Amino acid sequence: MKKFAIMGLGTFGIRMLDELIKIGAEVIIIDQNKELIEMYKPKASSAVVIEEISELSVRKILPPKVDTVIVDFSRKVELSVISTTILKTLGIANIVVRAQSDEHGRLLKTVGATRVIYPDSEAAKRTTPILAADLLLKFMPISKNLALAEVGVEARYVGKSLAESNIRKDMGVNIIARRKKESEDFIFMDDPEYKFEEDDVLLVVASEEHIYNFSGGKISLKNNLKKEGTVKTSIFKNLFSSKK
């Protein structure tokens, strides 16, 4: 199970908390506002009131091997920049920060943000699956129970042929075409003996659940599944954005 930390319970931070708990993620919330922490504590795995943002205090609070830290101190621009700098210093691999403006976003990138978000009402829903599924690059719903996606190749399939990988049977995913990461041109997958390479990107069709699992999602979706196995509350709705 992936571990997430949310520093700052601004509007986007709260939305991310709601979306992450839907998919069973482990989430720690951190804020200077005691009332906010008490309000959202029941939803989180753990909750901490932090008096001052410093490298020492953040180091003490963050759980070991946290996968992603989401920063949203609302309009406190300076606090978001300081927090991002500290997280970068601590070696956090994925730092997602809400920006108030283009200038703010550029500054956040400079000090270490790996993803800058300019939120709207759907931003949390678009961001959650990209963070949770390691290989998911693009996603587009086709119908209620079917979607089209671009997915990187998992290490266990590299060197194996389409036939021997048995992806359709084991994962419920149909591979339509492939391209190289540096290219935008797809080639139809009409050769069952083609062996997957590390820099392949696959164009696939499947249900949202199967695409999520195939793209490296390690968070349980059981709370969002209907009996027939489709996603009840789609975490992929309106998603069609690339990982940077």
Instruction: Give tens-digit pLDDT for 9-34.
Output: 999 999 999 989 988 889 999 999 99
Residue-level pLDDT at 217: 67
Asked if 62 contacts 3 with a C-beta cutoff of 8 angstroms, the reply is no
Mean pLDDT on 111-129: 73
Instruction: Report the DSSP beta bridge partners of residue 95.
Output: 69
pLDDT classification of 119: cutoffs 50, 70, 90? low
* 171 has a pLDDT exceeding 60: yes
Return the CATH fold of 134-224: Alpha-Beta Plaits (3.30.70)
- In three-state form (DSSP H/G/I as H, E/B as E, the rest C), the secondary structure along 16-77 is HHHHHHHCCCEEEEEECCHHHHHHHHHHCCEEEECCCCCHHHHHHHCCCCCCEEEECCCCCH
pLDDT tens across 123-142, in order?
Answer: 666 666 666 666 777 777 67
- Which of the two residues, 65 and 201, has the higher pLDDT score? 201
Residue-level pLDDT at 149: 84
Asked if 105 contacts 116 with a C-beta cutoff of 8 angstroms, the reply is yes
Residue-level pLDDT at 134: 67
Question: 130: burial class by Cβ within 10 Å (0-12, 13-18, 19+)?
Answer: buried
Residue-level pLDDT at 92: 94
Euclidean distance between CA atoms 27 and 98, whole angstroms: 18
**Which pair of tokens denotes residue 183?**
């290219």
pLDDT tens across 70-108, in order?
Answer: 999 988 899 999 999 999 999 999 999 999 888 899 999
CATH code of domain 3-130: 3.40.50.720
Residue-level pLDDT at 237: 41
Mean pLDDT on 165-180: 93
* 3 has a pLDDT exceeding 60: yes
**Which pair of tokens denotes residue 153?**
């190749």
pLDDT tens across 195-237, in order?
Answer: 999 999 999 998 888 888 888 765 444 444 333 333 333 434 4
Residue-level pLDDT at 140: 72
- Which of the two residues, 51 and 121, has the higher pLDDT score? 51
Residue-level pLDDT at 127: 65
Report domain extents, the chain.
Answer: 3-130, 134-224
Residue-level pLDDT at 221: 45
- Which of the two residues, 122 and 205, has the higher pLDDT score? 205
